[in-house]
Structure 1
Amino acid sequence: MDKLDGMRVFVQVAEQQSFVAASKVLGLSAPMVTRSVALLEQSLGVKLFNRTTRHVRLTEAGRHFLLDAKRILDDLEQAEAAASGLYSTPKGSLSITAPVLFGQKHVMPILTDFLMHYPDVEVRAQLHDRVVNLLDEGLDVAVRIGHLKDSGLYAIPVGNVNVVVCGAPSYFEANGMPQKPEDLVEHEIIQPSSVETSAIWQFETSKGRKSIKLKPRLSCNQNAGAIAAAKQGFGITRLLSYQVGEEFQDGSLLRILQDYELEPYPVNIVHLEGRRANAKVRSFIDLAVDHLRANPFINHR
């Protein structure tokens, strides 16, 4: 088995986080996969994986080599495709991640559109309300909401979203509508812990940022649950604007305290490889940028 084959085996073990699972994907025996990685480590002079009886995890050297190995294999795949006249046709497996509700509402329609355009591509979508490390988890593309901390990523801005306070018309009819942040202490509060991790809500005022300490009677770790409770008229909640865009449109929720909202959060599509990204990644990003920049639930100012 040559070094390129060894790289292919290494990448599959890294993505599957298992020698046995990688052997099944590759159609090789588990001992052959183990030997291939051992020979690659020997030729490089570094340890690529930390192995236990339960887990296989990349070492720091392995994480860096994974990026280089994927780039080399992608370049080879593109060169072979170019030689056969297939370079412009995306092929292979694409892995993406996005926040749960944003993914369900706004990314999945893009993925199905992408798959219909490119029948030779398979997509693995991971929806998490946490920041997923692309390199560590073998992912190609992420949709990120918030300010980026990892300078090693290539980012394409598509707009921004606001943190909004809202409630049902029936609730405001029965309890009145808050006119300023301080008024919230007199109201029933629904706390969506994935958006607001603290019961101390921050607002912008003419005198600077103001903190309001609240006592939520209902806390929910899923945004959809907080939305459902708010629509039923139980109380007031605070979410990201895209999460309740449809409710604002149909009038089932009303946006309040808009003059006190915090600075919007940017929405970016991020990936690792810049202009060197392969055809399937470039094609997906192009399609996603077009869709998200036209999305009425994302601000584009």
Structure 2
Amino acid sequence: MDRLKAMQTFVQIADQGSLTKAADAMGSSLPAVVRSLAALEAHLGVRLFHRTTRRNSLTEEGVRYLESTRDVLAAADAADLALTAEASEPAGRLTVTAPVLFGHMYVAPAITRFLARYETMHCSVLLHDRQVNLLEEGVDVGIRISPLADSSLVAQRLGTVRHVVVASPDYLARHGTPGHPRELAHANCVRVHPNSTAPWGFEHQGKPFSVATRGNLDFNHIAPAIESCAVGMGFGLFFSYQVLPHVAQGRLKIVLDAFEPPPTPVHVIYPHARLLPARTRAFVDWMKAEFTGLAL
């Protein structure tokens, strides 16, 4: 039995005064209305109407049930209207995560524009350089710069970023510009935790290889490592978006670009959901419009 449909039928019978008129008002057949009422009474275990050949009148139980039923149907209509309104104009809270520097440079400005468009939305932005578990940490949407393997997430590609080796023009003038990544093994390299001792990855003619680097300076954050390279401390390996402002200003120069590994994808990710909330759908669409085709 469709309880909501049966309740709607019950209200129509009460309002119209007969099963026949209720059937006409609902565009249904008389047998269907009779079956719906019988099923509802069987479910409740009470009679809702006194039946006569001329008119159906409510029993005492029917009078009480009618008031409650009207409340339930009104609440259902209100819920439908709320979702319909949200679908046309998204509202509510959304928690978003992104890498720290990419979030600061690209995601936060995009979210600011999103909120200027949808003023009834509220976004909480969490910037972390660790990989946030969306499901466990209650996060709605993430921006992730890495290949994805988690099948519990939906991923839509926004673009790509490169891994680039950089150094300052001054450092290159003093120590020379390398022609091959293996020369980095004998240079000073500024490195970043938690992978400060990991070899740097490259590719040549489709074949990946790595080079062990050394240096006298390492950091637990990207920004000071980039600044150290910019003032001439040595070579650094970073995502392209992280150093683009310094490259544009002439403070850093990209080297060994012929040996770069394949670009790393940038995705907007969110948990699988059969019915995606309108606010999440609107945000994902917004980010795709902002970033699709991104190639930094």
Q: With structure 1 as the length reference, what TM-score do the two structures score?
A: 0.68
- Is the CA contact 2:86–2:278 (under 8 Å) kept in the aligned structure 1? no
Alignment of 1:216-235 (within 5 A): 216-235=215-234
Letter in 1 for 2:218: S
Deviations 1:221-276 (A, max 9, x none): 10101111011111110001111122222222111111111122111001114562
Deviations 1:49-73 (A, max 9, x none): xxxxxxxxxxxxxxxxxxxxxxxxx
Distance 2:197 2:273 in 1: 37
After the TM superposition, which segments of 4 or more aligned residues of structure 1 sit over 4 Å from their partners? 75-78
- Is the CA contact 1:78–1:87 (under 8 Å) kept in the aligned structure 2? no
Alignment of 1:64-213 (within 5 A): 79-82=80-83, 85-194=85-194, 196-206=195-205, 208-213=207-212
- Is the CA contact 1:199–1:215 (under 8 Å) kept in the aligned structure 2? no
Deviations 1:161-211 (A, max 9, x none): 1111001111111111111011112321100225x4434222212483322
Distance 1:158 1:244 in 2: 20
Alignment correspondent of 2:237: 238
User: What SS does the corresponding residue of 1:217 show, helix, strand or coil?
Assistant: strand
User: What SS does the corresponding residue of 1:136 show, helix, strand or coil?
Assistant: helix
Q: Given the superposition, is the C-alpha separation of residues 273 and 234 from structure 1 closer, same or farther in structure 2, using an over 3 Å criterion?
A: same
How many angstroms does 1:214 deviate by? 1.7
Distance 2:219 2:140 in 1: 31
- Is the CA contact 1:78–1:278 (under 8 Å) kept in the aligned structure 2? no
Percent identity at matched positions? 34
Q: Given the superposition, is the C-alpha separation of residues 86 and 280 from structure 1 closer, same or farther in structure 2, using an over 3 Å criterion?
A: closer
Distance 2:222 2:121 in 1: 31
Letter in 2 for 1:287: W
Q: With structure 2 as the length reference, what TM-score do the two structures score?
A: 0.69
Distance 2:283 2:206 in 1: 44
Letter in 2 for 1:157: R
Letter in 1 for 2:237: R
Deviations 1:46-95 (A, max 9, x none): xxxxxxxxxxxxxxxxxxxxxxxxxxxxx999734246x45311111100
Q: Given the superposition, is the C-alpha separation of residues 220 and 127 from structure 1 closer, same or farther in structure 2, using an over 3 Å criterion?
A: same
Which of the pair has more CA radius of gyration? 2
RMSD across aligned C-alpha pairs, in angstroms? 2.2
Q: Given the superposition, is the C-alpha separation of residues 77 and 215 from structure 1 closer, same or farther in structure 2, using an over 3 Å criterion?
A: farther
